[in-house]
């Protein structure tokens, strides 16, 4: 056995999107030097545990939730002092979910679990601010080339809901007419015959649905979702 004193951990950046706001899931540390500090859910990997199983377990233990589709963001281990106690290399995962589908429940190492709006996030412990920044960057980029946003909307949605989602996550304005034209040109968003009143204006707005079957079919035919030029 080689002599090496480095520990390996996992951390999760779980983004939630709801009604125009992008949230990040955080937990409040119960023990140790960082007690009461907010951090990302995470912890040490067990000897017989796949990395992905470790991050799923930590999310269950510390925040009481099951998250599917966690994707590896990257591994943090260039700063050998990123943990004051001893050297820890952390494999970070991220996900995007609808917070409405989750009931948070802190336990084990976490005394509280909470969704913070990304723009009101307190300073997190360790290098977790940097993890969130990188995960947000990756999320922005992913949003432009994969239709990951539709899972976060109601099944029937206003075009303005979709626009708001893109504006919130990309943190910029969108040229609305281009965006609409581009999205509709893909043929994966269908207009329904239903109309609802938009917000306080009372103006009628058509409802749309995402045609996932069509998207899956097009994907096989080398179709590429892409709204980078919107």
Residue of the chain from 30, 34, 44, 116 that contacts a copy of itself (CB under 8 A): 44
Under rule CB under 8 A, residue 155 binds a copy of itself: no
Residue of the chain from 20, 33, 36, 50 that contacts a copy of itself (CB under 8 A): 50
Q: 62 to 121, contacts with a copy of itself by CB under 8 A?
A: 72, 74-75, 77-80, 85-87, 89, 91
Under rule CB under 8 A, residue 177 binds a copy of itself: no
Minimum CB distance to a copy of itself, residue 6 (Å): 5
Under rule CB under 8 A, residue 221 binds a copy of itself: no
Rounded CA-CA distance 29/13 in Å is 16
- Rounded (10°) CA dihedral 98, 104, 107, 108: 10
- Rounded (10°) CA dihedral 154, 159, 164, 167: 130
Residue of the chain from 52, 104, 148, 218 that contacts a copy of itself (CB under 8 A): 52
Minimum CB distance to a copy of itself, residue 178 (Å): 14
User: DSSP code of 152?
Assistant: G
Under rule CB under 8 A, residue 185 binds a copy of itself: no
Produce one character per residue of 72-97: b if its CB has 16 or more CB atoms within 10 Å, e if not. ebeebeeeeebbeeeebbbbbbbbbb
10 Å CB burial of residue 151 (0-12, 13-18, 19+) is middle
Rounded CA-CA distance 91/212 in Å is 31
Under rule CB under 8 A, residue 47 binds a copy of itself: yes
Under rule CB under 8 A, residue 33 binds a copy of itself: no
* 71, 148 contact by CB (below 8 A): no
Q: State phi, psi for 167 to the nearest 5 degrees.
A: -60, -40
Tokens of 210: 């995402």
Under rule CB under 8 A, residue 51 binds a copy of itself: yes
Minimum CB distance to a copy of itself, residue 56 (Å): 11
The residue ranges that bind a copy of itself (CB under 8 A) are 1-2, 4-8, 44-53, 72, 74-75, 77-80, 85-87, 89, 91, 224, 226, 228-229
């Amino acid at each position: 056995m080689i002599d090496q004193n480095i520990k390996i951990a996992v951390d999760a950046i779980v983004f939630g999107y709801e009604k125009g706001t992008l949230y990040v899931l955080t937990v409040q540390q119960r023990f140790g030097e960082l007690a009461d500090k907010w951090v990302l859910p995470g912890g040490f990997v067990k000897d017989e545990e796949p990395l992905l199983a470790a991050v799923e377990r930590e999310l269950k233990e510390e925040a009481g939730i099951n998250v599917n589709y966690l994707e590896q963001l990257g591994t943090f281990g260039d700063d050998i002092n990123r943990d004051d106690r001893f050297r820890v290399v952390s494999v970070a995962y991220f996900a995007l979910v609808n917070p409405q589908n989750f009931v948070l429940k802190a336990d084990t190492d976490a005394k509280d679990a909470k969704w913070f709006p990304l723009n009101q996030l307190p300073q997190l412990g360790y290098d977790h601010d940097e993890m969130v920044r990188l995960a947000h960057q990756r999320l922005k980029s992913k949003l432009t080339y994969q239709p990951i946003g539709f899972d976060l909307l109601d099944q029937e949605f206003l075009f303005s809901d979709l626009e708001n989602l893109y504006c919130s996550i990309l943190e910029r304005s969108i040229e609305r007419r281009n965006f609409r034209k581009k999205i509709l040109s893909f043929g994966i968003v269908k207009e329904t015959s239903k109309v609802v009143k938009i917000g306080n204006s009372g103006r009628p707005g058509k409802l749309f649905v995402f045609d996932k079957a069509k998207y899956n079919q097009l994907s096989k035919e080398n179709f590429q979702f892409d709204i980078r030029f919107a």
